[in-house]
Amino acid sequence: MLSQGIWWSSIVLEVFLLARAASARLIFRYPVFYGYISFVLSQSILRSLVHRWYEQGYKRVYWTTEFLGLAMGCWIVFEVYRVALAAYPGTARMARKILVFLFVLAASKAAAALWSDPHLLVETTPLQVERALRTVQAISIAALVAVFVFYSIPFGRNLRGILLGYGLFVGERVICLTFVPPQGHHFWFYAASASYPVALSLWLFYMWSYQPSPVTKDSLQLEYDYQRIAAATRRRLQETSGYLRRVVRS
Amino acid sequence: MIEFSSLIAGIALLLLLLTAAAKGWLASRPLGPEPAASEEDATEPCPAELVNRIFSREDWEFVRGLKAGGIERLFEQERKRVALVWVCQISAMVRKVMREHAQAARQSKNLRISTEINIFAQFLVLMAVCGILSAAIQLAGPLWLGGLAHFAQRLSQRVSKVQETIRAGALSSAREAGSA
């Protein structure tokens, strides 16, 4: 009953969000985001039909669409990064490096785990794979948000809503997937399912009308000066470190 | 182990996003967050003589020589308050330097990640020193902390020199752009 309620509320919210996007012409402004919402809506209907008419194939359809949805979610995050940092090449570079580092770290960890236990791939359930992938996604989003905050990147209402909604959804999902049992309907199963309607409600609030991201006017050409500043900063840091050593010794 | 790290990642993301939403960190702010009043005032650190005075024991010994308990207590309370204001001023100045640095660096195409990490680490050290100093003043009073205070003062002066370099760089760049 509760599952049905969550399912229907998600469908209604998705339809409402898409209808509002079409009427406010937001759908052309954020095609990736609304593409994701349309995908999740169609996947919910597809899963329901498969569950009703072809139950033995449900598990395969469920996990295939779940991982496709996860990949599309990564595309949303990439789109937020691309749009928000278009005017900030320095921050974009920083964010890219951090994300590459995180993905290399995650891939190395997975490779090391597979190397130590060759049967891991067979023994791992799709739920565990999703949890691992969502964890990497959560860490990446957290790193991106930290970079945005540190460099004071201005966000428009819509972009902020997309990031907050998707980030909260991923965060809640990761926590719930940590506790959700492999079989049966437990509190955490419902909590994991309910995280999506929560995100949809947030999106509906933030995506009611179009509000562009603010454009900055401080487009100073600081390439040469950054090199100079960096050199000066390094020198000062070395001096400070020497000073620290002297203080510790004295 | 994986479950624990997942849980930590999820909670960290939720907390970060909720704090960002509550404090308006991701709001429309083309020139960065509005500085607090104390940050606006924090243009340069207090003169070294004043800091020496705050943490010096000379005044304390003079007041003790008066043999008046009430004045002693009042002196301690006032000195503690002044010392805490000074620590707040230093930490506000450090935050201001970081904000200005971030605003200059975010536009730069050849930003170096290692340098940024170094600067951020320096910022964390300074903020930690200020935090420790503040806690120590609360616990022990300023009169016992002369050495640590001087250390923080020297560090902050070095940071303000970096700030001047950043300002000079931005100004010369703006002039070059204007003349081009």
Q: Can you give chain A as a three-state secondary structure string?
A: CHHHHHHHHHHHHHHHHHHHHHHCCCCCCCHHHHHHHHHHHHHHHHHHHHHHHCHHHHHHHHHHHHHHHHHHHHHHHHHHHHHHCCCCHHHHHHHHHHHHHHHHHHHHHHHHHHHHCCCHHHHCCHHHHHHHHHHHHHHHHHHHHHHHHHCCCCCCHHHHHHHHHHHHHHHHHHHHHHHCCCCCCCHHHHHHHHHHHHHHHHHHHHCCCCCCCCCCCCCCCCHHHHHHHHHHHHHHHHHHHHHHHHHHHC
pLDDT value for B173: 60
Average the pLDDT over A224-248 and give the result: 54
Question: With contacts defined as CB-CB under 8 Å, which chain B residues touch A110?
Answer: none
Cβ–Cβ below 8 Å for A134 and B12: no
Q: Predicted confidence band at A11 (pLDDT cuts at 50, 70, 90)? A: very high
Distance of alpha carbon A161 from alpha carbon A167, whole angstroms: 10
ipTM of the complex: 0.78
**Percent of chain A residues topping a pLDDT of 90:** 28
> Is the predicted pLDDT of residue A229 greater than 90, yes or no?
no
More confident of the two residues B65 and B9: B9
Is A160 in contact with B155 (Cβ distance < 8 A)?
A: no
DSSP code at position B47: P
Distance CA A230, CA A242 (A): 18
- From chain B residues 142-161, the ones with a CB under 8 A of any chain A CB are 151, 154-155, 158-159, 161
Choose the most confident range, by mean pLDDT, from A130-139, A207-216, B27-36, B167-176. A130-139
Rounded to the nearest angstrom, the minimum Cα separation between A225 and chain B is 5
- CA gyration radius for chain B? 21
Amino acid at B17: L
Chain segment B135-165, per-residue pLDDT in tens: 888 887 776 665 666 666 677 777 777 767 7
pLDDT given at position A233: 57
Cα separation, A124 vs B104, whole angstroms: 47
Question: Is residue A138 scored above 90 in pLDDT?
Answer: yes
> Are A165 and A204 in contact, with CB atoms under 8 Å apart?
no
B120 CB neighbours in chain A (<8 A) are 150
The pLDDT of residue A25 is 87
**Residue type for position A96:** R
Gap between the Cα atoms of B83 and B70, Å rounded: 20
Q: What are phi and psi of B45, to 5 degrees?
A: -70, 165
pLDDT for res B151 = 67
- Given a cut of 50, whether residue A3 has pLDDT beyond it is yes
Residue B37: pLDDT over 90: no
Instruction: Report the range out of A127-141, B63-77, B81-95, B127-141 with the highest average pLDDT.
Output: A127-141
Query: Best of B1, B108, B153, B167 to disrupt the A interface by mutation (most A CBs within 10 Å)?
Result: B108
Tokens coding A20: 């509002």
What does the alpha-carbon distance between residue A152 and residue B28 come to, in Å, rounded to a whole number?
9
Q: Check: CB of residue A47 under 8 Å from CB of residue A62.
A: yes
pLDDT above 60 for A181: yes
* CB < 8 Å & 24+ apart, contacts of B109-117: B109/A89, B109/A90, B109/A93, B109/A223, B110/A223, B110/A226, B110/A227, B111/A89, B111/A90, B111/A91, B111/A93, B111/A94, B111/A226, B112/A230, B113/A93, B113/A94, B113/A97, B113/A98, B115/A230, B115/A233, B115/A234, B116/A94
Domain regions of chain B by residue span: 47-179
Chain A touched by B119 (CB under 8 Å): yes
What's the confidence (pLDDT) of residue A180?
Answer: 79
With 0-12 CB in 10 A as exposed, 13-18 as middle and 19+ as buried, what is B146?
Answer: middle
In whole numbers, what is the pLDDT of chain A averaged over residues? 83
CA B166 to mean position of chain CA atoms: 17
pLDDT at B30 (0 to 100): 46
